[in-house]
Every structure is written in structure tokens, then in C-alpha cells.
């Protein structure tokens, strides 16, 4: 019976341990594969997002580089003199050279009235009015270069030559899930446009205008693919692809169809079109592109006025990540199987080794879990291993009992501390909210007494009482303002108007009597979503700080403007005060840090200002030179 009983225990323990190993291994496989799958998919979409951002950056960099080229050429003496004297023959030769050396499709010189003076593609065709072109009009209005993406109608391209116009025509290919199209041919062309004024003696005598046609332009799109995805291929296919859409039509791409031809003329799906083209949002998801599944990213392409003209696309073959997932999963399964076999062998060995003392250990352990610190009795007939286990468990019982006592004592102390901290918190809150009431009484009566006894020997003492009471009230108010998490109530407002309203009050303050405030506001500043009262507090804090830094008077210049990339409203406060030491610049936004004299500042104004700007998702920076002045720069997002 004894032998059967021990065998039964052994069998149960082995089966139990093997069950645990099996369940643990199975769960590890399921959880591991799920985690691997999610990690790879997350990494894949991160890669798509990064690739899309890189392609968009390269596209904009291409535009900016071409803008710099045209701007440089428009300022050369040869171009200026030839345009001013209307030397068409000389200009024609220069435009041909520009077109050839810099890979432009269209290069023209437009006179001051907006009429074509000479074309690089068609010397005999000139005099037509292009003043309605938005990029030409922008140059004339702003006297600066304009650049970006635009769309040219077929009739306009024909002026450059019939051959060039025919090259831009694209036949529409029916594509599943795409928007229905009434026309089977696209004659318009998406172009990169650059225009730069030609100025002679501070007078615009013309405009140097150039374009790169994107329809069927493989050089540009292949350049993007090569820089973003290198030359990675799977089964003879490029892993990464890029595409430019005019509205919903592929006008240039390195996506290929089953025959290996570029999929020019195919359409984007209606779902992507609605989200990207109509709503102007980025789209990241898996998509069936022409004939393959891709992890795809789409981003809108805008013109100079912010209107969506087309879509920039990048895609990575889903097969790449399926291969990674398959190989990783197989490797993981092999590791799990090997470790499971090892665990089974170790489990059987341990069961056979520790079967004898296991019942005592289990019994003692059960008592410990119930709070009974019962020790194992060491019997004379026990072997050495059992004796060691028994002694070890008895030591563990003593240690657990001692530790439980310590934990109970610590828990009691922690509860007492928590109650004390809670009481202190309530006390501090009550003091912070209630201390203003007696301070107001002290301030009121001390002011009345000072007024009545201002000609007596007690006047100076009363002034000290009044000033110190005001200081205490300001400190309490600053602490409450800094600690309070005010709810932001954002509305659409104009920053210029907010600043003007603040200055109307500040300029009448005695601190600003010797200070000249200069306003340099951008009249075209768009409205932004802000909490008006909090922004006014920021303007007041920075203006008063500037006044404090100029005790003998000076200049305060407030400037507003726009930063385009990313779109931000910029507000600058520049004073001619004493400046801030370099060692203190990193501390000025810390609570209670101040460089003012004792009694003249709480050190909370800039900390509050910093918190307000951060809650508006903006930034605040400071530049300062001792003896010259300080400039605070605030940036608030337009969107």
C-alpha cells in the first residue's frame, strides 16, 4: 500500500507538472506569436509613416531647390539687362541653357505686364497674357519668389509646343473600388512651379518662370524611391514604391502591373480619395494596389493657397513583413519546443528527487498561508536531504513570521503618516484659500490708519505693515495661481487684438510712463484657438517683467508673425533692459525663482506663463544679453 501510495503521488505530480509545462508552453506560443505579429505590424506601419514623411520631405526639397535655382538666375546681371532691354534673342539662348542644365520642362520670361516675353520651348509664340497665373500674380504682389505645386490646362501647355502637350496626356484605366470618371482621358498636368521677380533698379521688369511637368515624369519619382527604399527587392519586385496622383489619377509611379509596365492611369480607391483628397488627412493602412497588397501611406499635396491638388503615395510590399513574421514565428516555435522538452526532463527529475519531503513541505506551506507558523518536526528516521529541507523550511517559517510582524508594523506607521499628510494637505489648502481674508482686513485698516496718521511718527511703521501685507497677499495669490489647474476655454481669436487690448490698460500704468512700446504686428495674422484670458495673462506678465527690467525707461518691441513650417503664430517681446545672466537663463521658468530684489517678486509669473503656453501646445524660448536686453519668443500652433 505504501508503495502504491507513493507511486500515485509521483504520477499525479508528474502529470501536474507536465500539464503546467504544456499549458505554459501553449500560452507562450500564442502570446509570443501575437506579440511578434503586433510588433512587426507596428514596426511596418512606423516604417510606412517614416517613408511617407521622407518622400514628402524630398518632394518639398525638390521644389525648394528649384526655387533657389530660379531665384539665383533671376538676379544675374545678364537676365536682368536682357529683360529690361527686351532682348528676346539673348534670353532665348539663356532659357534653353537653363532648361537643359536644370531639367526644367518649361522656362519662360514674363514681362512686367504679365505677358510672355520669350519661351524656351517656342520662340515664335509670345505676347500671350499669363498674369492670371497665381504664382505670377503672387510674385507681382509680394515682390518675392513663389514656388509650389499647380495644375496646367492642356491649352496652356500647347503654347509650349504640341509635342510637350501630347506627352502629358494620360489614358484613364478602370480600377476596382475607384471613383467613377466621366472622362477616359486626363489632359491636365500637375507641375512643380517656380517664379521669381526680375528686378532692375528696385523695379520689377519681369518674372523668370519655370515648371517641371510631373505627368509621366519617371526621373523624379524613381529618385524618391531610390532615396527612401534603396534597391530592396523580393521575387524580382521592388519592395518599396512611390506614386504621385493628380486628384485620384496616377500620373507618375513605379508601381507596375502584371506585364511589368508602370501603372500610369490607374485610380486610387474611393475610400482613400475621400479621406486624403477631400478631407486633407493622412491615410495609413493595408491596400490592394494594382495587383499586390501593400502597406500604404497617402498624404495630400497642396498648392500655394492650401488647396489639395493631388496625393503623394508610398507603399511597402506586405510580403516583406509576412516573410519576417513567418521566419520569426518558426524560430520562436523551435525555441519554445526545445525549452519545453528541457522543462519536462527537469520536472520529472525534480519530482523523483523531492517526493519524500514534499508532503511535509506542502502541509507546512498550507499552514503558513493560513497564518499558522507551524514548524516541521525533524524525525530520527529522516534522511539527510529531508533534514536539510525541514531545517530550511523551519528557518523560513521564522523569517516569514518576523517579516510579517515587520510589515504589519510598517503598515501601521504608513497609515499614520498618510493620515498626517492628508491632514497637512487639508490644512495647507484651508490656509491658502482663507489667508487672504485676514490679509485684506490688515491691509484695509493699515491703509486707513496710514491715511489718518501720515503726518505722525507712526507713518513709516504703517507703510511697512501695508507693503508687507500686500507682498503676502501677492505671494498667496501667486501660489494659488501656480497650483490651480485652470480649465482652458479655447475660442477663435486674433492675437493682435488680444495684445492691443492688454496694452490699452498697461500703457496707463505708472511702470510704463518712461517706456516706449513699439508694435510690429502682421496684419494678415490668421485667427487661432486660444483661451483669451490666459493669453492676456501671458502678455501682462511678459510686459510687466520687461518694464521691471527697464527702471530708467527704454523700448519694448512686440512683434507678431507667421512661421510656415510647421504653421505657427509667433509672438516676440524684446526689451532694452538689464538682461539676464547666462547662468540664470535655465532657471527663470522654475517656480519661486526670481532675480528681483526681495519683496519685488514672487518668482511665479514666468512659471505660470510657461504652464499656459504648454497647455496651448506651444513653446516659449528666451534670449538675453546682459546690458543689452531680453527677448521672449512664443510660438502657438495654427491648427
SS3 for 380-443, per residue?
Answer: CCCCHHHHHHHHHHHHHHHHHHHHHHHHHHHHHHHHHHHHHHHHHHHHHHHHHHHCHHHHHHHH
Q: How confident is the model at residue 5 (pLDDT cuts 50, 70, 90)?
A: very low
Averaged pLDDT, 111-135? 92
Strand ranges of the sheet holding 619-625, from the earlier edge strand across to the other edge = 515-520, 554-563, 568-575, 629-637, 619-625
pLDDT value at residue 6 = 47
Same domain, 460 and 584: no
Q: How confident is the model at residue 424 (pLDDT cuts 50, 70, 90)?
A: very low
* Residue 604 contacts residue 573 (beta carbons within 8 Å): no
pLDDT value at residue 570 = 95
pLDDT at 477 over 70: no
Q: Which of 281, 305, 320 is the last residue of a domain?
A: 320
Same domain, 595 and 456: no
pLDDT at 637 over 80: yes
Instruction: Pick the most confident of 32-41, 162-171, 254-263.
Output: 162-171
Same domain, 233 and 150: yes
pLDDT value at residue 351 = 65
CATH number of the structural domain spanning residue 145: 3.30.450.20
Same domain, 479 and 495: no
- DSSP 3-state assignment of 47? helix
Same domain, 549 and 464: no
> Per-residue pLDDT tens for 269-289?
899 999 999 999 999 988 777
pLDDT at 124 over 50: yes
Q: Say which DSSP state 520 is in.
A: E
Specify if 83 maps to a domain. Answer: yes
Same domain, 506 and 463: no
Q: How many CB atoms lie within 10 A of CB 620?
A: 19
Q: How confident is the model at residue 57 (pLDDT cuts 50, 70, 90)?
A: very high
Host domain of residue 546: 491-637
> Per-residue pLDDT tens for 608-625?
888 888 888 999 999 998
Same domain, 551 and 471: no
Same domain, 75 and 97: yes
Q: How confident is the model at residue 386 (pLDDT cuts 50, 70, 90)?
A: low
Same domain, 472 and 522: no
Specify if 425 maps to a domain. Answer: no
pLDDT at 426 over 60: no
pLDDT value at residue 422 = 43
353 or 493, higher pLDDT: 493
> Per-residue pLDDT tens for 82-95?
999 999 999 999 99
Specify if 475 maps to a domain. Answer: yes
Averaged pLDDT, 475-495? 68
Of all helices (H) and strands (E), which one includes residue 275?
A: none
Specify if 218 maps to a domain. Answer: yes
pLDDT at 319 over 70: yes
Same domain, 554 and 617: yes
Task: Spell 511-539 as b/e; 16+ CB within 10 A means b.
Answer: ebeebeeeeebeeebeebebbeebbbbbb
Report the domain count for the chain. Answer: 3
* Residue 358 contacts residue 39 (beta carbons within 8 Å): no
Of all helices (H) and strands (E), which one includes residue 106?
A: strand 106-111
pLDDT value at residue 433 = 56
Same domain, 67 and 140: yes
pLDDT value at residue 4 = 45
- Average pLDDT in the chain: 81
513 or 352, higher pLDDT: 513
468 or 248, higher pLDDT: 248
Amino acid at each position: 500500500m505504501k508503495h502504491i501510495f507513493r507511486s500515485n503521488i509521483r504520477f499525479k505530480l508528474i502529470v501536474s507538472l507536465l500539464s503546467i509545462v504544456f499549458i505554459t508552453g501553449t500560452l507562450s506560443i500564442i502570446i509570443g506569436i501575437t506579440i511578434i505579429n503586433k510588433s512587426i505590424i507596428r514596426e511596418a506601419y512606423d516604417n510606412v509613416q517614416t517613408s511617407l514623411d521622407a518622400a514628402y520631405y524630398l518632394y518639398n526639397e525638390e521644389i525648394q531647390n528649384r526655387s533657389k535655382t530660379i531665384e539665383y538666375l533671376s538676379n544675374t546681371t545678364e537676365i536682368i539687362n536682357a529683360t529690361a532691354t527686351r532682348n528676346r534673342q539673348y534670353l532665348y539662348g539663356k532659357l534653353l541653357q537653363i532648361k537643359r542644365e536644370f531639367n526644367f520642362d518649361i522656362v519662360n520670361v514674363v514681362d512686367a505686364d504679365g505677358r510672355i516675353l520669350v519661351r524656351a520651348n517656342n520662340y515664335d509664340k509670345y505676347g500671350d497674357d499669363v498674369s492670371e497665373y497665381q504664382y505670377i500674380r503672387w510674385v507681382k504682389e509680394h515682390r518675392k519668389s513663389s514656388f509650389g505645386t499647380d495644375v496646367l490646362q492642356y491649352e496652356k501647355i500647347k503654347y509650349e509646343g504640341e509635342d510637350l502637350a501630347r506627352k502629358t496626356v494620360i489614358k484613364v484605366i478602370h480600377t476596382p473600388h475607384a471613383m467613377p470618371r466621366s472622362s477616359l482621358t486626363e489632359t491636365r498636368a500637375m507641375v512643380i512651379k517656380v517664379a521669381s521677380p526680375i528686378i532692375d533698379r528696385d523695379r520689377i521688369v519681369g518674372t523668370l518662370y519655370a515648371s517641371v511637368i510631373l505627368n509621366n515624369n519617371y526621373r523624379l519619382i524613381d529618385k524618391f524611391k531610390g532615396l527612401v527604399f534603396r534597391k530592396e527587392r523580393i521575387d524580382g519586385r521592388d519592395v518599396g514604391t512611390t506614386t504621385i496622383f493628380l486628384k485620384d489619377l496616377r500620373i507618375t509611379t513605379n508601381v507596375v502591373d502584371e506585364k511589368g509596365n508602370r501603372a500610369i492611369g490607374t485610380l486610387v480607391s474611393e475610400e482613400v480619395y475621400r479621406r486624403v483628397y477631400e478631407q486633407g488627412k493622412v491615410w495609413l493602412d493595408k491596400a490592394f494596389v494594382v495587383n499586390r497588397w501593400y502597406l500604404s501611406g497617402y498624404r495630400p499635396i497642396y498648392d500655394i493657397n492650401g488647396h489639395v491638388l493631388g496625393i503623394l503615395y508610398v507603399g511597402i510590399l506586405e510580403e516583406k513583413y509576412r516573410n519576417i513574421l513567418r521566419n520569426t514565428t518558426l524560430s520562436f516555435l523551435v525555441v519554445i519546443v526545445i525549452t519545453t522538452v528541457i522543462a519536462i526532463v527537469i520536472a520529472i527529475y525534480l519530482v523523483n528527487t523531492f517526493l519524500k519531503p514534499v508532503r511535509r513541505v506542502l502541509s507546512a506551506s498550507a499552514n503558513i498561508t493560513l497564518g499558522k507558523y507551524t514548524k516541521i518536526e525533524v524525525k530520527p528516521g529522516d534522511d539527510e536531504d529531508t533534514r536539510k529541507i525541514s531545517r530550511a523550511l523551519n528557518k523560513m517559517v521564522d523569517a516569514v513570521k518576523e517579516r510579517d510582524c515587520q510589515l504589519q508594523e510598517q503598515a501601521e506607521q504608513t497609515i499614520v503618516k498618510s493620515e498626517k499628510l492628508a491632514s497637512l494637505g487639508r490644512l495647507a489648502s484651508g490656509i491658502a484659500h482663507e489667508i487672504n481674508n485676514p490679509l485684506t482686513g490688515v491691509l484695509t485698516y493699515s491703509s486707513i490708519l496710514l491715511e489718518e496718521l501720515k503726518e505722525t511718527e507712526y507713518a513709516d511703521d504703517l507703510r511697512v505693515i501695508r507693503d508687507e501685507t500686500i507682498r503676502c497677499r501677492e505671494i498667496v495669490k501667486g501660489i494659488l495661481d501656480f497650483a490651480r489647474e485652470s480649465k482652458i476655454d479655447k475660442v477663435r481669436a486674433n492675437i493682435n487684438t488680444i495684445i492691443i487690448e492688454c496694452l490699452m490698460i498697461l500703457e496707463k500704468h505708472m511702470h510704463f510712463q518712461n517706456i516706449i512700446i513699439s508694435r510690429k504686428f502682421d496684419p494678415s495674422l490668421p485667427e487661432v484657438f486660444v483661451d483669451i484670458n490666459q493669453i492676456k495673462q501671458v502678455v501682462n506678465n511678459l510686459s510687466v517683467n520687461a518694464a521691471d527690467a527697464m527702471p530708467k525707461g527704454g523700448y519694448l518691441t512686440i512683434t507678431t508673425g507667421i512661421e510656415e513650417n510647421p504653421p505657427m503664430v509667433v509672438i516676440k517681446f524684446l526689451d532694452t533692459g538689464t538682461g539676464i545672466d547666462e547662468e540664470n537663463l535655465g532657471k527663470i521658468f522654475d517656480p519661486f525663482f526670481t532675480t528681483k530684489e526681495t519683496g519685488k517678486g514672487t518668482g511665479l509669473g514666468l512659471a505660470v506663463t510657461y504652464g499656459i503656453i504648454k497647455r496651448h501646445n506651444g513653446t516659449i524660448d528666451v534670449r538675453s544679453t546682459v546690458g543689452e536686453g531680453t527677448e521672449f519668443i512664443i510660438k502657438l500652433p495654427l491648427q
